């Protein structure tokens, strides 16, 4: 402690060495040499204080004026002031100490030594292992690093001459940033160089964006191009969710306060009422190419051919060649003039299946060119699928997994846990989720906040967050049952698009969340079982979230809870520039 404080206030007065480092022996000598004067001043300070207090107490007893001081008292007063100033410096007030112990002028001129001492101290204070997305951040003996410190610390700069030359080439535009991984063969190094070049080009600091602690090899050619770091999102746990007789701890990655707590309260209400049950209604991913003919009649001819049951087996054989898991279920066609939209539906095992179904569709299109050579393929996706857009076809026909989940919440639980009544919930659901959504012209949005829960689980488990658009299509129904004593609540979600293999599910953090739910990877005994189970868990969590939020609205608790838990006093504009 003393050695570090001394380094920060008094530059070292020693000749420059080749290494320019302070040895352990020098630090020990410095500490021992300071021990004697420190002890002297401590003793002097308390002795003088005791002497003066004794003298002044004697004057009070003998009625002697206090302002009449003897020479010994004057000396004692000066000794008190001197020792007090020294002790101020000893306990860390550097500017006072610098006034008393002013260094020589030749030391102030050694700027290089000062800069190196600061660098050494920064390296000592820096965390040895950065907190990564999939690493254990508990380093034994390491200091706790606050969120603010992440912004305050300077990021590690490119150090080698070779890397510096590459950075300059990227900044100059002679080396494309996207080619760094292939040129260097080191994804982590490529990300660091790209990051440094970006900071120089933009003049903006990325110190708050973590770089270390992530496996950049795992995302190469799969998840993200031209990485410069990764974003940290906290993951909370809601549950246990009692669904179909099993308990699940549901991971939710979110930055919205109250969301996890609210969903957790819904899980509690469901658990106390005996749990929820869910049923998978349909499982099929879709892709809809658009083709064009010279006449509408030719488009109709292809439509009739595709929908003829006699051709279904042939088309299925062609389609299924694309994968051992892809199985064609059906083709639904729609005509717009000379244009034909063909909506293929197929099972995809435990994968979400967009790539799988696209390959199967391409096989069928190539096959159809033989009998329909005048067919012009405009695009393998014609938006009749429909992917990542709100669409009535998904709401009506379904896409991915179609699930319905229900529970009967006991009246006592409604009153004691949810702090409302069955009658209030039923009325609010009709006026808000049904009538209100209809007034707004909602498409699949007959719910309170299904997308909140879907998005949080999707991010935590490595799903495609953009597919939250159609995956959060949901209608929430509430009804008083058992002579009005209890509440029946259900959510119907026709297009939950999830997978447990491929994409972001392979990343370490997301894989851990899938493992928590018991749906990690592919199910070898029953292909597709893991992804179907994940879809039912999503629906169960949505049921819990709907139940809790609607109760908060009925009881008038929403604004109060968000003002308490979803407000930040931190000024983010001053954290980094």
Instruction: Name all contacts of 166-171 with Cβ < 8 Å and 24+ positions apart.
Output: 166/193, 167/193, 167/196, 167/197, 167/200, 170/194, 170/197, 171/197, 171/200, 171/201
Of 20, 282, 359, 562, the active-site residue reads 562
Q: 209-238 burial, b if ≥16 CB within 10 A, otherwise e?
A: bbbbbbebeebeeeeeeebbbbebeebbbb
Query: Has 215 been annotated as catalytic?
Result: no
Of 199, 464, 497, 546, the active-site residue reads 464
Query: Has 562 been annotated as catalytic?
Result: yes
- The number of beta carbons lying within 10 Å of the beta carbon of residue 279 is 12
Contacts of residue 44, Cβ cutoff 8 Å, sequence gap at least 6: 79, 83
Prior bond to 386 cis, omega within 30?
A: yes
| Cα Rg of the chain, angstroms | 35
**H or E stretch including 292?**
strand 290-292
Query: Has 388 been annotated as catalytic?
Result: yes
Of 388, 419, 432, 488, the active-site residue reads 388
Torsional sign, CA 76, 78, 81, 87:
negative
* Strand-pair category, 277-287 with 246-253: unpaired
Contacts of residue 543, Cβ cutoff 8 Å, sequence gap at least 6: 266, 270, 276, 405, 406, 407, 489, 490, 491
Q: How far apart are the first and last CA of the chain?
A: 32
Of 114, 186, 256, 301, the active-site residue reads 256
Tokens of 198: 């970006």
Q: How many CA atoms lie within 13 A of 114 on its CB side?
A: 10
Chain CA centroid to CA 210, Å: 12
Chain CA centroid to CA 3, Å: 40
Chain CA centroid to CA 269, Å: 27
Query: Has 256 been annotated as catalytic?
Result: yes
- Which of 343, 346, 341 shows the shortest CA–CA distance to 356? 346
Residue given tokens 């000598």 in the structure block: 29
- Which of 353, 343, 333 shows the shortest CA–CA distance to 283? 353
Q: How far apart are CA 152 and CA 211, in angstroms?
A: 15
Q: How far apart are CA 179 and CA 120, in angstroms?
A: 35
Tokens of 485: 């004593």
Torsional sign, CA 208, 210, 212, 213:
positive
Q: How far apart are CA 110 and CA 65, in angstroms?
A: 54
Q: How far apart are CA 443 and CA 395, in angstroms?
A: 8
* Strand-pair category, 376-379 with 327-336: unpaired
Q: How far apart are CA 379 and CA 298, in angstroms?
A: 18
Q: How far apart are CA 519 and CA 251, in angstroms?
A: 13
Tokens of 560: 């109060």
- Hey, which residues are catalytic here? 256, 388, 464, 562
């Amino acid at each position: 402690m003393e050695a570090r404080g001394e380094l920060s206030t008094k530059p070292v007065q020693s000749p420059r060495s080749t290494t320019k480092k302070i040895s352990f022996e020098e630090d020990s000598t410095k500490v021992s040499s300071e021990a004697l004067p420190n002890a002297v001043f401590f003793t002097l300070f308390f002795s003088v204080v005791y002497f003066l207090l004794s003298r002044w107490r004697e004057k009070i007893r003998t009625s002697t004026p206090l302002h009449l001081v003897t020479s010994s008292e004057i000396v004692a007063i000066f000794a008190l002031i001197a020792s007090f100033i020294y002790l101020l410096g000893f306990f860390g007030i550097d500017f006072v100490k610098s006034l008393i112990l002013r260094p020589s002028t030749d030391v102030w001129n050694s700027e290089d030594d000062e800069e190196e001492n600061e660098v050494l101290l920064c390296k000592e204070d820096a965390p040895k292992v950065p907190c990564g997305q999939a690493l254990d951040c508990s380093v034994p003996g390491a200091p706790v690093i606050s969120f603010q410190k992440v912004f305050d610390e300077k990021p590690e700069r490119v150090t080698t001459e070779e890397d510096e030359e590459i950075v300059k080439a990227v900044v100059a535009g002679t080396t494309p940033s996207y080619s760094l991984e292939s040129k260097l063969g080191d994804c982590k190094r490529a990300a660091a160089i790209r990051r440094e070049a970006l900071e120089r080009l933009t003049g903006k600091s990325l110190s708050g964006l973590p770089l270390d602690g992530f496996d950049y090899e795992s995302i190469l050619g799969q998840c993200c191009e031209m990485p410069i770091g990764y974003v940290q999102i906290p993951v909370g746990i809601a549950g246990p969710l009692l669904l179909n007789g099993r308990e699940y701890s549901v991971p939710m990655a979110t930055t919205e306060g109250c969301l996890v707590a609210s969903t957790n309260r819904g899980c509690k209400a469901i658990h106390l009422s005996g749990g929820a049950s869910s049923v998978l209604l349909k499982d099929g991913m879709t892709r809809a190419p658009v083709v064009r003919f010279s006449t509408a009649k030719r488009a109709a001819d292809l439509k009739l051919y595709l929908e003829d049951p006699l051709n279904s087996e042939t088309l299925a054989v062609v389609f299924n060649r694309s994968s051992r898991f892809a199985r064609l279920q059906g083709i639904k066609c729609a005509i717009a003039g000379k244009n034909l939209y063909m909506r293929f539906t197929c099972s995809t095992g435990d994968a979400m299946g967009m790539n799988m179904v696209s390959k199967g569709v391409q096989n069928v299109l190539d096959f159809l060119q033989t009998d329909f050579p005048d067919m012009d393929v405009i695009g393998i996706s014609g938006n009749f699928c429909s992917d990542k857009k709100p669409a009535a076809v998904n709401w009506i026909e379904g896409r991915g997994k179609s699930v319905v989940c229900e529970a009967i919440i006991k009246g006592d639980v409604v009153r004691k846990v949810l702090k409302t009544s069955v009658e209030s919930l039923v009325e609010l659901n009709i006026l808000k989720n049904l009538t209100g959504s209809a007034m707004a012209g909602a498409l699949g949005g007959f719910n309170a906040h299904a997308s909140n829960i879907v998005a949080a689980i999707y991010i935590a488990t490595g799903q495609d967050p953009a597919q939250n658009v159609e995956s959060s299509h949901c209608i929430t129904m509430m009804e008083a049952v058992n002579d009005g004593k209890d509440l029946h609540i259900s959510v119907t979600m026709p297009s939950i698009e999830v997978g447990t293999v491929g994409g972001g599910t392979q990343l370490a953090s997301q894989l851990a969340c899938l493992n928590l739910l018991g749906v990690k990877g592919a199910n070898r005994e029953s292909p597709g079982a893991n992804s179907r189970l994940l879809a039912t868990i999503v629906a169960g969590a949505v049921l819990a979230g709907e139940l809790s939020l609607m109760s908060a609205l009925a009881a008038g608790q929403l604004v109060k809870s968000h003002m308490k838990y979803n407000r930040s006093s931190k000024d983010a504009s001053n954290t980094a520039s």
